[in-house]
Chain A
């Protein structure tokens, strides 16, 4: 069965970096896109962008350029989200979500990871 298992909660100081992992199983990793979604405490969902797991090409949403980096290790079917120069406002739950492509468009977001809470505090 398809599963996306994310790494555990992180507590970081402002200015530090964090790397969140999303390990996929139950399907061919490179056949589906991987999306990242942020949810700040008590707030709604924000689409951060996606990475083409076949080519490694990332696409970042407005507001998620510069400090945010999507990467892959296809040998272990894992996608990563790295955030540098952390700020208090980066405190949120970060989700990975599998995307089904039709041509160049993701038409379907089906399986989601359980979420990783990143807390930024001194």
Chain B
């Protein structure tokens, strides 16, 4: 059973920078896992932010960026805004299967 692990919760101050990570139980995450990142606010459907590690959708704010960091996929928010408070999920590709991480609850305080 493949497990994708994210930080359960993180707190950041408005205007600050925070990095969320996404690790695979199978080993280092590479671009071949096609990491995707999603934001979900309470009562709403998920919203796509990043695909293929670092590519942004047309609606993705510039302060969001994706990368590979220390064998993990990473989502960095620079200049955090109060509206960025949400749950963030990564999704990895495993040769036919896809697995979501457990999610990171980001608090802006």
Interface residues of chain A, those whose CB is within 8 Å of chain B, are 37, 44-47, 59, 61-62, 95, 97, 100, 105-115
Contact = CB atoms under 8 A, between A and B. Distances in A.
A114 B45 contact: yes
23 contacts: A37-B46, A37-B100, A44-B101, A44-B102, A45-B38, A45-B46, A45-B89, A47-B91, A47-B97, A47-B98, A61-B97, A61-B98, A95-B46, A97-B46, A100-B51, A105-B93, A106-B93, A106-B98, A108-B51, A108-B52, A109-B91, A111-B48, A114-B45
B47 interface: yes
Nearest to A96: B45
Contacts of B66: none
Contact of A62 (B57, B87, B97): B97
A108 B58 CA distance: 12
Give the 3 A-B CB pairs with smallest separation, nearest first: A108-B51, A47-B98, A45-B100
B89 A112 contact: no
Please classify how large the interface on chain B is, using the bins under 10, 10 to 19, 20 to 34, 35 or more. Answer: 20 to 34
Nearest to B48: A110
B2 to A, nearest CB: 9
Interface of B: 1, 34, 36, 38, 40, 45-48, 51-52, 55, 57, 87, 89, 91, 93, 96-103
A59 B40 CA distance: 25
Contacts of B46: 37, 45, 95, 97, 112
A111 B51 CA distance: 12
B15 to A, nearest CB: 28
Nearest to B6: A44
B97 A45 contact: no
Contacts of B40: 45
